[in-house]
Amino acid sequence: MSGMPTGDPNSDDSKMQAKVSGNLEENNRILKEIFTDCGDVIFHDFLVAGDRHAIALYVKCMVNVELLDRNVLGTLKHLESGDFASLNTTRTLIPLSDSHVVHTIGEVVHEIMDANPVILIDSLEGAISLGMTQFDMRAVEEPQAESVVRGSRDGFIEAMTVNSSLIRRRLKTPALKFINFSVGRYSETKVRLSYIQGIAKPEVITEVSDKISQIDIDGIVESGVIEEWIEGNNYSPFPQIQSTERPDVAVAALMEGRVLIMTDNTPIVLIAPTTFWSLMQSSEDYYQRFLIGTLIRWLRYVFFVVALLAPSVYVAVLTFHHEMVPTTLLLRVAKSREEIPFPAWMEAFIMEVTFEALREAGVRLPKQIGSAVSIVGALVIGQAAIQAGIVSAPMVMIVAITGISSFMLPQYSMSVSLRILRFPIMFFSAIVGLYGIVFCVLVIISHLCVLRSFGVPYLSPLAPLDMKALRDTLIRAPLKKMKRRPTFYAKKP
Amino acid sequence: MGDAPTISRKKFKSVLRLSLLLLLPMTISGCWDQDEVNHVGFIIAAGIDSTQEDMVHLTIQVFIPNPTSGGPDEGGGEGRLFTYMCSGKSIPDALSSLQNKLPRTLSWDHTKLFIFGEKLATLGLKDDLDFLFRDVESREQANFLICKGTAEKLLNSLDDPNTYDTLIRIGEMPSVNAYNMNYVEESISGESGSFVLPIADTMSLSSSKTTRTVLTVKGTAVIKDAKLIGIINDQKNKGLQLGFQWLHQTSLSRNLTITLKQDGGKITAKLVRRKLKLLPSIRDGVWRIKIRLKLDADIVQNSSSIDLLTPADSLRALETRFNDEIEKYLLQTLDEVQTNMNADVIGFARTFHKIYPRQWKKVSGDWDSVFQKIEVTMDVNCTLRKPGIADIKM
């Protein structure tokens, strides 16, 4: 799969298809032309076997130069002329485990761009590509967005090769497959589809690889681009692909029969297919004892509803259904609302928008200024706002509880979709009260029932009902009791 | 799979169209029944009286928050409960004339108490109850009370600063709680049409040398066919009052004690659990009913010479004495209900209807005369559980 460029738009195809001839001068000219103004590409002329010319080509700072100089150039210099009978003979004499012969100009260009140094030797057709990639990368660190109390502390990094090794280290089986793709006309980003043969559904594997091959784009900057290209429904507010930066989560998904999509230069790995419930789970549910796992899971379900509906219910009840609030509480609320100039819905809207703005500001700001945001934020959503008479104290409570609830969701993408949905529900509840909320919830539920992620119903195993799999949804059953793989993900045995 | 996005796009468009369509009727409906809490005056208690012929006098206590009177920490405060009075041919008449003068929408959502004046109740509650059941969107837990004299006078005499709190709490009292709107609706539409309601009264409390008048509940009013036919006050007849409490099916109150004079002292038992069962039978055209009352009680006071802590089962011996005492109250009550008032407030009609539906249908038009002839037998069985912690003879 790798190797063949999907067509570099900068050069014409015939030039790239041309074979690497035996004429070094000619090859040098062609390559120099291709790499015009590429200041980072090194052309190193040297002599082998006394008088024979050779060129080493590589991109600066992406190659282990020390190794190249000592092992390769050093060895080649001391070879006899008989050793240059064919390119393959020469290649075998280089003390390097990862090397191969390439034949076309296009392949040479691709290898160089892929950070593999290439050596062309006069009067030998073809070129030797050496696997000596070495570039600066971040160390494996604790994941920033998915922290756990209990669980492994390593996280994916930008280098995909390292990420693959993190997974391979946890799954020592040849059934773990990595299929390579190269996506993006210019970026030629490496994308890897990973699955366990025998567990993952073949139709899901084909669907995902088909969709990845169909991506037609100049460049992949982050896995989010891939996610948007391959997800089934772009218009749904709900994420249909899970993302993670934790290798343990990725491996657990693989063992459930799901597939991973790894993208080079990003620590975020995509997991497909996904369901509503898996987006509500944290890896720690399985590391803690099952009672705790179940409890926390339910806490999350409850606060999912709170995060979605709290401001809307507050507005609806205060505007239309006073009889639903206990009298003492209502009278207290009425008292605190007395001096507020805005109707309840506008108050809720102002506060929610402000909160979203604060949250966004907090995410984007440099860490040094972060504390300033929290100080200002505490003023805006807090006692000062109440004393200024802009909002009432109960509203501040509601906004705070909504904020906390949305932070409880382990998947950021899920809490984002809640943030989107909250506003239309608030709008409807302000117009028609609880009726509007019920209407919105019904629309959301019916949408969730229709939504599919790579053929898997989004609400499974609840709809369609699978009683056996519910033990990992409604509760987190003890691991000894969960002997079968979830049938909606995994291939039927 | 490549065409999946186009399908969902189509779907999305149709969903969008549908939701736009659904949005349109919402815009024409407007927000006419929208009521912000700060634009509402919550009626906490309503007193209904009849003044002249065909005129209703309404006294309402409205909660209007007054944020400047105190900080957010202050609970109840003075000057937040306003009393309005108005008259009209009917309650809605009176209300609408009052509403025209007020900037706030009057809301029945949190009305806790409906108090009917004695005169109105004697004339009949039919008109006013119909309005309350039909239109007022208050909770069905709202409690109904009868008061001696006029409700206006009663509500106006309350001068406790925590009145609104008292009004809210009084409905939570076990002796008032059961007599709510739901109970009245059920009883009026039920077999006998008779029921009892608590009587509202005032009580003087002194705190830091000032005397305040607060609302309280004293006695029982018997209502038949939506008309007040009798008031049973504590002072008038303690035993009768007690009998009503024993016999009332829904009453949750456990705050019942009974005192005996025995062996040179007083023995008081406090009710723990109560189980009332009405067992009807019709034999040879005679309608009979057996009242089976099972009681669990604890001894809370014993100054008599009986030693309750000895192994000799003195508690069992006492039980018969208590049975007799309770039976005495019950018979007295039944006599009052059957002979004097002829109001089936205990629910004999419902019991017969349940078990003898065909026979009941025949007599349902003439229930009053049948009711008076029912032969009642008693089976009171009280169990004394705890003799108390210490038994020191003085």
Q: Does B140 reside within a domain?
A: yes
**Rounded distance, CA B148 to CA A167, Å?**
84
Test A432 with B29 for CB contact under 8 angstroms. Answer: yes
Question: Which H, E and C letters describe chain B, residue by residue?
Answer: CCCHHHHHHHHHHHHHHHHHHHHHHHHHHCCCCCCCHHHEEEEEEEEEEECCCCCEEEEEEEECCCHHHCCCCCCCCCCCEEEEEEEECCHHHHHHHHHCCCCCEEECCCCCEEEEEHHHHHHCCHHHHHHHHHCCCCCCCCEEEEECCCHHHHHHHCCCCCHHHHHHHHCCCHHHHCCEHHHHHHHHHCCCCEEEEEEEEEEEEEECCEEEEEEEEEEEEEEECCEEEEEECCCCCHHHHHHHHHHCCCCCCCCCEEEEEECCEEEEEEEEEEEEEEEEEEECCEEEEEEEEEEEEEEEEECCCCCCCCCCCHHHHHHHHHHHHHHHHHHHHHHHHHHHHCCCCCCHHHHHHHHCHHHHHHHHHHHHHHHHHCEEEEEEEEEECCCCCCCCCC
Per-residue pLDDT, B25: 65
User: Any CB–CB contact under 8 A between B38 and chain A?
Assistant: yes
What's the CATH code of the domain at B276? Answer: 3.30.300.210
- Residues B215 and B263 both lie in one domain: no
Q: Does B11 reside within a domain?
A: no
Chain B partners within 8 Å of A439 (Cβ): 22
Virtual torsion, Cα A261, A263, A269, A274, nearest 10 deg: -30
Per-residue pLDDT, B68: 55
* Interface confidence (ipTM) of the complex: 0.75
For the stretch B254-267, pLDDT in tens is 667 778 887 778 88
* Mutation for testing the B interface, residue in A214, A314, A335 having most B CBs under 10 Å: A335
Per-residue pLDDT, B72: 44
Q: Does B337 reside within a domain?
A: yes
User: Any CB–CB contact under 8 A between B13 and chain A?
Assistant: no
Range of the domain at B373: 237-394
Of the residues B233, B267, B283, the one at which a domain ends: B233
- Residues B253 and B207 both lie in one domain: no
Q: Does B50 reside within a domain?
A: yes
Q: Does B31 reside within a domain?
A: no
- Residues B197 and B258 both lie in one domain: no
- Residues B145 and B244 both lie in one domain: no
* Mutation for testing the B interface, residue in A204, A323, A398 having most B CBs under 10 Å: A323
Test B72 with A432 for CB contact under 8 angstroms. Answer: no
Test A334 with B22 for CB contact under 8 angstroms. Answer: no
The shortest CB-CB distance from B110 to any of A233, A322, A447 is to A322
- Residues B216 and B350 both lie in one domain: no
Residues in chain A: 493
Test B44 with A327 for CB contact under 8 angstroms. Answer: yes
Mean pLDDT of A262-290: 93
Per-residue pLDDT, A7: 47
For the stretch A67-113, pLDDT in tens is 898 888 888 888 888 888 888 888 888 888 889 999 999 999 999 99
Put simply, the chain B residues between 66 and 85 with a CB less than 8 A from any chain A CB are 66-67, 72
- Residues B216 and B320 both lie in one domain: no
Q: Quick check: B172 and B132 in contact, CB under 8 A?
A: no
Residue in A with minimal Cα distance to B35: A319
- Residues B251 and B117 both lie in one domain: no
DSSP class per residue in A361-425? HHHHS-HHHHHHHHHHHHHHSSHHHHHTTSS-HHHHHHHHHHHHHHHT-S-HHHHHHHHHHHHHH
Chain B partners within 8 Å of A210 (Cβ): 1-2
The alpha carbon of residue B393 is apart from the nearest alpha carbon of chain A, in Å, by 49
The alpha carbon of residue B320 is apart from the nearest alpha carbon of chain A, in Å, by 46
Mean pLDDT of A381-390: 83
The shortest CB-CB distance from A327 to any of B1, B5, B168 is to B168
Test B63 with A331 for CB contact under 8 angstroms. Answer: yes
The alpha carbon of residue A1 is apart from the nearest alpha carbon of chain B, in Å, by 21
The alpha carbon of residue A310 is apart from the nearest alpha carbon of chain B, in Å, by 18
Per-residue pLDDT, B71: 45
DSSP bridge partners of A394: none
Of the residues B233, B253, B281, the one at which a domain ends: B233
Per-residue pLDDT, A4: 45
- Residues B101 and B167 both lie in one domain: yes
Per-residue pLDDT, B70: 46
Contacts of B98 (CB under 8 A, 6+ apart): B58, B60, B84, B86, B106
User: Looking at the 3D structure of chain B, how many domains does it have?
Assistant: 2
Interface A-B, measured as beta-carbon pairs within 8 A, has a size of 94
Which of A177-186, A298-307, A320-329, B242-251 is predicted least confidently? B242-251
Mean pLDDT of B239-250: 71
For the stretch B186-224, pLDDT in tens is 888 888 888 888 888 888 888 778 888 888 888 888 898
Which of A8-22, A320-334, B62-76, B333-347 is predicted least confidently? B62-76
**Rounded distance, CA A318 to CA A320, Å?**
6
Test A393 with B72 for CB contact under 8 angstroms. Answer: yes
Test A320 with B34 for CB contact under 8 angstroms. Answer: yes
Which residues of chain A are at the B interface, by a Cβ-Cβ cutoff of 8 Å?
207, 210-211, 214, 232-236, 318-320, 322-323, 327-328, 330-331, 333-340, 343-344, 393, 428, 430-432, 436, 439, 443, 447, 450
Q: Does B10 reside within a domain?
A: no
- Residues B284 and B302 both lie in one domain: yes
Per-residue pLDDT, B6: 54
Per-residue pLDDT, B235: 63
The shortest CB-CB distance from B36 to any of A343, A439, A450 is to A343
The shortest CB-CB distance from A319 to any of B36, B107, B137 is to B36
Helix (H, G, I), strand (E, B) or coil at A445: helix
Q: Does B14 reside within a domain?
A: no
The shortest CB-CB distance from B37 to any of A207, A318, A447 is to A318
Of the residues B178, B210, B233, the one at which a domain ends: B233
Q: Which two tokens stand for residue A400?
A: 């705070």
For the stretch A203-243, pLDDT in tens is 999 999 999 999 999 999 999 999 999 998 888 999 999 99
B193 in the Ramachandran plot: left (φ > 0), alpha (ψ -120 to 50) or beta? left
User: Any CB–CB contact under 8 A between B4 and chain A?
Assistant: yes
User: Any CB–CB contact under 8 A between B25 and chain A?
Assistant: no
> Residue A152 above 80 pLDDT?
yes
Contacts of B189 (CB under 8 A, 6+ apart): none
Test B67 with A320 for CB contact under 8 angstroms. Answer: no
Per-residue pLDDT, B137: 74
Test B19 with A432 for CB contact under 8 angstroms. Answer: no
Q: Does B17 reside within a domain?
A: no
Per-residue pLDDT, B2: 42
For the stretch A26-47, pLDDT in tens is 999 999 999 999 999 999 999 8
Q: For chain B, give the mean pLDDT.
A: 82
- Residues B217 and B282 both lie in one domain: no
Q: Which two tokens stand for residue A243?
A: 């993302």
Residue in A with minimal Cα distance to B63: A331
pLDDT class for A191, splitting at 50, 70, 90?
very high
AA letter at A489: Y
- Residues B322 and B347 both lie in one domain: yes
- Residues B153 and B170 both lie in one domain: yes
Per-residue pLDDT, B254: 65
Residue B137: Cβ within 10 Å count? 11
